[in-house]
Copies of this chain bind each other. A is one copy, B any other.
Amino acid sequence: MKKVRVIVRLRQGVLDPQGKTAEHALHSLGFEEVRDVRIGKYIELELDETLEADKLHEHVKEMCDKLLANPVIEDYEIVEG
């Protein structure tokens, strides 16, 4: 079994209402040092190792492009192992 992690973030400049809400909540809890909060997705995939490593990486890229990340407003980063 191979474990691959994918970090999906909103692109710079895209409004992050969830992050803004968390930022205001942290201020109300007294954490004045917080300047910005951005909230993305942290995806852990467990994959059968039936494919070659580079083929598997290509598949994960396709999974991100087709489903796991919204190409219009999100970027993603694949972190192996």
Query: Taking beta carbons and an 8 Å cutoff, which residues of A are in contact with B?
Result: 1, 7-9, 22, 25-26, 29, 31-48, 50-51, 56, 59, 62-63, 66-68
* A9 lies within 8 A of B67 (CB): no
Report the Cα distance A41→B47, complex, angstroms: 21
The distance from the CB of A64 to the nearest CB of chain B, in whole angstroms, is 11
* B41 lies within 8 A of A45 (CB): no
Closest chain B residue to A67 by CB distance? B25
Report the Cα distance A78→B40, complex, angstroms: 15
For A48, list chain B residues within 8 Å (CB): 32-33, 35
Report the Cα distance A29→B64, complex, angstroms: 12
* A40 lies within 8 A of B41 (CB): yes
